[in-house]
Amino acid sequence: MNPAARETAARATPSRFDAIIVGGGPAGLAAAITIAEAGLKVAVIERGDWPGSKNVMGGLIYSHPTSQIVPDFWKEAPLERHVVRRDMWMTTADSTLKASYETTDFALEPYNSFTVFRSRFDKWLAEQARARGAYIINETLVEDLLLESGKVIGVRTGRPGGDLEGNVVILAEGVNRFLTEKAGLGAKIRPATVALAVKEVLSLPKDRIEDRFNLEDGTGAALEIVGDVTGGLPGTGFIYTNRDTISIGVGVILKGLVDKVGESYELLERFKRQPQVKRLIDGAKPREYAAHLIPEGGYRDMPQLYGDGVLVAGDAAGMVNAVFTEGANLALLSGRAAGETVIRAGKTGNFSAHTLSWYGERLEKSLVIKDLKQFEDAAPFLSSHAHMFNLYPEVASAAMKELLTVDSLSKADKTRLIMRLFRSQVPTRRLVRDAYDAWRAIL
Binders in 49-108 for other proteins, by CB under 8 A: 49, 52-57, 92-95
Site string for other proteins, 1-40 (x = CB under 8 A): ----------------------------------------
Q: State the nearest-atom distance from the C-beta of 344 to other proteins, in Å.
A: 31
Q: State the nearest-atom distance from the C-beta of 274 to other proteins, in Å.
A: 10
Count of H-run helices and E-run strands, the chain: 16, 17
Footprint of other proteins on 211-230 (CB under 8 A): 228
Q: In Å, what is the CA distance from 299 to each residue of 135, 318, 352, 380?
A: 32, 7, 24, 12
Applying CB under 8 A, the span of 66-74, 163-171, 306-314, 393-401 interacting with other proteins comes to 393-401
Selection from 290, 11, 53, 43 nearest residue 142 by Cα: 43
Q: State the nearest-atom distance from the C-beta of 192 to other proteins, in Å.
A: 8
User: Which of 41, 208, 287, 344 forms a contact with other proteins (CB under 8 A)?
Assistant: 287
Footprint of other proteins on 302-361 (CB under 8 A): none
Q: How many CA atoms lie within 13 A of 47 on its CB side?
A: 13
Selection from 335, 78, 89, 311 nearest residue 221 by Cα: 89
Pick the closer one to other proteins by CB: 192 or 356.
192
Classify 15 as helix, strand or coil. Answer: coil
Distance CA 233, CA 389 (A): 7
Contact of 170 with 31, CB cutoff 8 Å: yes
Distance CA 168, CA 352 (A): 9
Sequence-distant (≥ 6) Cβ neighbours of residue 295 within 8 angstroms? 175, 189, 193, 194, 301, 315, 318, 319, 320
Q: State the nearest-atom distance from the C-beta of 155 to other proteins, in Å.
A: 12
User: Which of 88, 398, 431, 438 forms a contact with other proteins (CB under 8 A)?
Assistant: 398
Write out the E strands in 79-210: 81-91, 96-102, 113-115, 135-137, 142-148, 151-157, 163-171, 194-203
User: Which of 263, 282, 361, 364 forms a contact with other proteins (CB under 8 A)?
Assistant: 263
Q: State the nearest-atom distance from the C-beta of 90 to other proteins, in Å.
A: 13
Footprint of other proteins on 350-379 (CB under 8 A): none
Q: Tell me whether residue 243 is exposed, middle or buried, using C-beta atoms within 10 angstroms of its C-beta: 0 to 12, 13 to 18, 19 or more.
A: middle
Q: In Å, what is the CA distance from 342 to each residue of 18, 170, 207?
A: 8, 9, 47
Pick the closer one to other proteins by CB: 366 or 425.
425
Site string for other proteins, 407-426 (x = CB under 8 A): -xx---x--xxx-xx--xx-
Distance CA 149, CA 165 (A): 15
Q: State the nearest-atom distance from the C-beta of 189 to other proteins, in Å.
A: 6
Pick the closer one to other proteins by CB: 120 or 206.
120
Q: Which helix (H) or strand (E) holds 295?
A: strand 285-295
User: Which of 1, 4, 99, 291 forms a contact with other proteins (CB under 8 A)?
Assistant: 291
Q: State the nearest-atom distance from the C-beta of 13 to other proteins, in Å.
A: 14
Footprint of other proteins on 136-195 (CB under 8 A): 138-141, 157-159, 175-176, 178, 188-192, 194
Pick the closer one to other proteins by CB: 285 or 440.
285
Q: State the nearest-atom distance from the C-beta of 54 to other proteins, in Å.
A: 7
Q: State the nearest-atom distance from the C-beta of 49 to other proteins, in Å.
A: 6
Distance CA 426, CA 392 (A): 9
Q: How many residues bind other proteins (CB under 8 A)?
A: 82
Distance CA 267, CA 254 (A): 12
